[in-house]
Each structure stands twice: as structure tokens, then as C-alpha cells.
Chains A and B, each alone.
Chain A
């Protein structure tokens, strides 16, 4: 049912009281809210490790014991600690459980929910430091973070609009529509100096101010949720954990530039995000927070979802626009910029999910508040999806200016297995690898650019000594070759030629001039490609050449892969002193390349060996090595 401003206020106050026990341990439970809230992460990461079954079982147990009024089981968004999922948080006790399994549910129910005692073995954190009050805040993973874009992820039920409203949701929209002019909204966003979180870092307020004065019968607001960078899941987590913040921000953008239609372009590979966003849009429409005459102010704004179909280039703004129009997602030359001539030829503002997630808070708390965080040229915070060879794989939000070392060692908990850090990759296929010597670089747009990488959308992959940097460069080039749309030759042909060179290097067949050839090609591709995909495609190669040139040289001159990854350059051999002559490897070898006599050391015929590694997996004595 359509809600007036007074209705929304009433909902906010009532729900705030219900949710009070999640904020204040000593708060008196409200009649409706119940005495205990059990929040279980239902983001993609935790769903993949069966959190939905845990929610179902708990709900069922609560129901069977007729505790529905007292104990609320709430599915929520990402807490960020994905490596330790499924995550469960119990309020008002503020107890966090990690790696909860379906078999743990009985114990949690009986001991904690009924008995009021924490289940010690499931508590988050190191085993020696386990105590019931170690959740958010005191865990180092959380204490160095500052969650603004992720403010509601893991705190509310994303499928319940009232919970979002209770967290001052839609208050910024009300404030803008009732107290501010569209130009006033743009002024605040401009003054906050927020830069686009999609990668390029263009000032958001400036973008809006380009679209606002355009005269047109129709303007559009679009949200780029086509998070194509493999290994990055910031935007997905926001959509899964706090979809209403994106709806509110898009309505604000619409008001600011004079648009009354928005599109969210989201990857079809994100089914949970698509579903939650769909639910949120329906709820917002029902409350009249989308549609005609929003909050009785006469402002109209509608929102639709458009599904991507698996093309990385569609993250580029002109390609995304072409795709929303229902065509092949090929980029177009700029100018004209979308702010002048975008979707269906009309002025369009296109913002990234994380950028939008910041907007409602900026309007509520003011530009100065936002500017107080981060560095002079990069204000606010940035969300990173930290993955690869790191202990705390997950989602982190840090103030700009935090160093890589803090992210990797303090928040991320370091490298597993005591291995040595080799490089961190940011910016995905458009970015670069940062070596150990730059671990103390503060993370902001300009510092990362200066060391040959880029902020990108927020993927941060950590690599250790076992990763070959030439192989990683080849991995990214394979990606770009596959994803190049084919419209412009420098990208279509150039990246393919670069990949061929890299393949020859990893096979030990490269000519001595391979490095110069790569550099020359990279230069031309960067200078002459039509869109950012091509212009940045050589970056992974250039940055690894800059910092790990010796690895390239080892592959080319010595035909050797120092990390032991590139198969063609490896040789398997048997250590005589460790081999007991059991013949297990010889029996498993698919090409009969291993021979010998029982109870004496075996040997590998390296000419016949296909380097499949089966022998190494088979040997129980560690007698087979590759180098």
C-alpha cells in the first residue's frame, strides 16, 4: 500500500525498536521484535556452503518449539568473512559463529538459543582467543575496517524493506525531495568529492552535473552491476545484502538530473542478487517509493532490471548502454559521452553499484563527513574482494589510504602455509601485479596508477611463491582475447598476438626478442584501442614485466619456470634415496614412461613423459620432484 511520509516515519520508529537488540546488548526487547535475533548469512559464498539449509532447520526448530514470537531467524547479507562461512550472528549477545554446519544446529539451538550459553568451539577467531564477545569490532578482521557501502550487509534482512527503513533507509530520498533542489543534491555529491568505484575514478558529482543541464524529453539513470572482473564480488554482495540502498540512490540520481526511469544492468550469473533486487523493487513500488508521486512530492521514478548475458566488455559504459538497448554489446567512440547522448540516444548517468551505495549516506551525513575519510584525492572508503592465497578470503571495506600490507597481513591474516608473498593483483584483467616492495603503498586511485596497477572495481588477488607471473599474465591475456568484442583491430588482433608470444614463452619456444616484441605490441594496443578493455589489456603483462622481468628471462633464456608451473618447462625425476621401488608410480603412469625393478629406485624416461603429474600424486614417499 502507498505510504506517506508520516507512514514511513511510523514504520521506521516501530522497526527501530524491534532491531534495537542488534545495536544495544542491554536494550529491552520490543513486543514484536522478540528477545533474540539469529542472523545467518545468505550471500552467495555462504549459500554455497549450505547456509540455506541451516536457516531452514533453525526456522523449523523454532517453529516446533513454538518460539516464533521470541526468537527470530533472519537471513542476511555478507559479513565479509567468506572463507569462514557459513557465518551466524546471534543478538543481543553479539556472538559470531563460523563454519557452522547443519549438524551443529541442534547444539546451537539447545545450548545457546534455549540455554543462553555460547557454543565455544564454533566461535569466530583464533582458538586460544575464543570468548563469547569477540565478534565484530574485536576481531582484527573487522577492527581495521570501516563499513559505509557495506553498512547494512550482514546487519539487516535484505528482503525486508522495513528493516532498511529502520536503518534510516529512504530518509535521504525524503530529505532530497522535501528540502533540497536537484542542483542542491548535485552540490552535496560534488562537494563530497566521491569518485566512481567502478575503476576509472571519475568524480560522480561532475558526471551528474553534465547530465543535469541537458534538455531532453527523457533522461535515464543506469546502474552498472555487470561485475565482470573474475574474483571480484563487491557489487554482488551489496545487491544481495542491501538492495534498497541502490534503489534509493538511483532515485536520488534521477531527481538530481531530471530522469524518471532507471535500469540496473546486472550479471545473469548472480541469481541471488537478481532475485533480491527484484523483491526490493517490488516492495519499493508497493510503498510508493518507486513509481508515481513518490512520498506525495510529485516526483516519479521507475526502475527495471536488465540481465547481462556474459560479456566482459559490457562493463564499459557505452557497451553496457548498447546491451541494455538489446543489441551486441559493442562500445562506441566517445564523445558524445552518455551524459549527453546515452541510452536510446538520451542523456544518461551511469554509476557503479558501490558508488551508489555511498550516495544516501553522503546526503544524510553531509559532504564534510565523507571527506573526513580517506586521502586528499581519494575520499571515503573502498570495498575489496580479497581472494587467492590469503587466509581470510572475503570482503573488506577500508578507508582509502590503508596500505596493502594492512589489508593482507592485518585484515587478511597473511598467506596460508607460511608461504612467501609474491604479488597482489588489483584491477583484474585491466590492472597489474604489485610486488612485495610496494606493500606499503597507500591504496588510492593515484598511488596505484603510479605503480603500474589500478584501483579497478575492487578485486584483490594475492599470489605466493608458487604462482608463476608469466602464467598469470597469460591467464589474463587469455581472458581479454576471449572477451575482446572484435570491433577494433588493435584489441582483436593485438591481444591475440600478445597471447601467442606469451604461450611461446611458457613453452620455452620464444625468440630472444620476445620481451621487446611484447612491449612494442603493448604500446600500440594501449594507444590505439577503442575502449578501456583494449587500452588496459596489456597492463597485466607490462606490470609483471616491470616487477618480475627475471621470471620472463628465465623462461626465455634458460627455458626454466622458477615457480614450477609452466608444464612444458618442467621435468619430473625420482629421488634415488627416497624411492623404495614400490612401482606404484609406474603402474599409474599413462604412457609407461617409468621403469625399474621392484625394491630398487625407479627412473622416468623424460622424453616419453607427458608431465601429467599422476606419479607425483601417487607417490606416498615424496620421492618424485618437478623442476
Chain B
């Protein structure tokens, strides 16, 4: 019961934040994408209810909101895991074996790209380029950056987070 209550408060807080963001941007031309960025910052992803709220708030059709959300890879309609494992698949990393790192990660996490583990702990993603080409191949787990990787490093790194 107590747990439910905190969720309510949290949701209410998030909703208030969202309403504030919408109010700030309403009437500005080209506001939809900035609002979606901030909404994703608040919720971690963009569930249909949030999209609906934005559509109503900014007075744009829901179809247009969903059209924009589905167009850009940065917007997600699914929740992300607590630890977001991101493998850089930019060209510099790819020629240095990022593909092998990704294979190892899929195995170690038992996840495919863009999947989230059932316990909500890990998501696996492949990204375009994080720009740390000097450290190639690179992966990030939330804010932590791991560079100059070899496939054998992967299991040990993942274990560390499993036990956190």
C-alpha cells in the first residue's frame, strides 16, 4: 500500500513537471521536439499517455506526435533498463572490432539489441558514434565509459553491474 502511494506521488510530480514544460513551450514555433526531449528526460521514455498529454497540451494531433516520436531514434516508447549498455557502432569502432564486442554482450546479457531484461536491470543498444574514437572500440554503461575493449573484457564488466 505504502509503495503504491509513493508511486502516486512520483507520478503526480512527473505530471506537474510535464505540464510546466508544455506551458513553457506552448505557442513557440517548432516546440514539439524540445518538449519531447524534456518529457523523455522526466519519464525515461515516452509512453502513449505522455504523448497524448503533449498532443493535447500543444494542440497538435496525436498522430503527428507519434509520427515524430517514431521517426527519431532517440525517442523511445519502451522503458529502458536501470543500466543502459550502449555499444558504439561508429565506423572507427567497427573497424576495430565493435561487432565482436556487441556479440559478446548479447551473449552475456542474453538480450538482443533494443531489448530490456525482464528484471528491468539491463537494456542493450547499439549507437552511432559517441565520439570517443581515440578509445575505440567503446561501450558505455549509463555514464561510465569503457574504451580500448577486447571481447574478453565484456563478461567481467557486466558482472560488476549485475552485483550492484
Report which A residues bind B (CB closer than 8 A).
44-45, 48-49, 82-85, 228-233, 236, 268-270, 306-312, 323-329, 344, 385, 387-389, 393-394, 425, 428, 459, 461-463, 467, 472, 475-476, 485, 613, 617
Known: A311-B72, A461-B95, A617-B151. A325 touches B132 (CB 8 A): no
A324-B30, A387-B133, A485-B71 known; 17 other A-B pairs, CB under 8 Å? A45-B135, A48-B132, A48-B147, A82-B135, A84-B134, A229-B129, A236-B131, A308-B72, A309-B37, A309-B73, A310-B73, A328-B71, A329-B71, A387-B92, A388-B136, A393-B92, A462-B95
Please pick, from B75, B92, B128, B129, the residue contacting A388 in the complex, using a CB distance under 8 A: B92
Known: A230-B129, A307-B37. A387 touches B72 (CB 8 A): no
A48 to B146, CA, bound (A): 8
Q: Which residues of A contact B147 (CB under 8 A)?
A: 48-49
A568 to B109, CA, bound (A): 24
Please pick, from A49, A269, A309, the residue contacting B75 in the complex, using a CB distance under 8 A: A309
Q: In the complex, are the beta carbons of B135 and A49 less than 8 A apart?
A: yes
B91 at the binding interface (Cβ < 8 Å): yes
A268 to B134, CA, bound (A): 21
Q: In the complex, are the beta carbons of B134 and A85 less than 8 A apart?
A: yes
Q: In the complex, are the beta carbons of A233 and B131 less than 8 A apart?
A: yes
Known: A44-B130, A269-B127. A306 touches B30 (CB 8 A): yes
**Residues of chain B from 58 to 93 with CB closer than 8 A to chain A in the complex:** 64, 67-68, 71-75, 89-93
Closest A residue to B145 using CB positions = A48
Q: Which residues of A contact B133 (CB under 8 A)?
A: 45, 82, 231, 233, 385, 387, 393
A617 to B95, CA, bound (A): 19
Q: In the complex, are the beta carbons of A388 and B91 less than 8 A apart?
A: yes
Q: In the complex, are the beta carbons of A393 and B37 less than 8 A apart?
A: no
A613 to B151, CA, bound (A): 11
Closest A residue to B95 using CB positions = A388
A-B Cβ contacts below 8 A, count: 132
Q: In the complex, are the beta carbons of B91 and A311 less than 8 A apart?
A: no
A306 to B75, CA, bound (A): 15
Q: In the complex, are the beta carbons of B33 and A231 less than 8 A apart?
A: no
A309 to B73, CA, bound (A): 7
Q: Which residues of B contact A311 (CB under 8 A)?
A: 71-73
B152 at the binding interface (Cβ < 8 Å): yes
Q: 10 tightest A-B contacts by CB?
A: A82-B134, A387-B92, A309-B72, A230-B90, A310-B74, A326-B30, A231-B91, A310-B73, A231-B92, A326-B32
Closest B residue to A330 using CB positions = B71
Known: A45-B133, A309-B72. A467 touches B95 (CB 8 A): yes
Q: Which residues of B contact A48 (CB under 8 A)?
A: 130, 132, 135, 138, 145, 147
Q: Which of A83, A309, A344, A385 has the most CB of B within 10 A?
A: A309
A310 CB → nearest B CB, Å: 4
**Residues of chain B from 17 to 36 with CB closer than 8 A to chain A in the complex:** 29-34, 36
Closest A residue to B138 using CB positions = A48
Question: Could you list 9 examples of A-B contacts with CB < 8 Å?
Answer: A44-B131, A49-B147, A231-B90, A231-B129, A268-B37, A306-B34, A309-B33, A311-B72, A326-B30
